[in-house]
Amino acid sequence: MAQQLAVIAPSLPTVPLTNREKARFKRERGPRGGVRPGAGRPTNALMAYQTNMRELIRLCIDENEVREVIASIIDQAKKGNPVAIGFFIKYVFGTPPDEVKMKIDIETRIRMIATTHGLDPDLAVDEAMAVLQETTRVATR
């Protein structure tokens, strides 16, 4: 892999990985031995290459150029370019959170609470279901 990287970018200066980065990308072996080829995290050589490329890009551009690129993305988004719009929305507003669904056995829970407090469990369940139905109707309006 290192030879391939040298062929791709022979004149790139290398930025050595810190011990923290090395530890982060170190492969762990399973209980039965080796690791499947291509599975898991990227290799150290690939991570070093990506780190070098990021550093080179940071050295080659200045703040004004970054502002120009961002302005052009905004212009393209205003013109209706769907890729620019997606990029803009993703980085300005963030990705929408996944819906979180929870399943709770409300009836069992209400019966337990009612019994603990000396109330009629059936009546407590009926009242709770009526409240839930009312809040559902209000929320869907």
User: Which tens digit of pLDDT belongs to each residue from 7-65?
Assistant: 445 555 566 667 766 655 555 555 555 555 556 666 678 888 888 888 888 888 888 99
Chain-centroid distance, C-alpha 68: 27
* Residue 130 Cα to chain centre, angstroms: 39
- CB-side neighbour CA atoms (13 Å) of 9: 14
Closest residue by Cα to residue 111 from 89, 127, 92, 87: 127
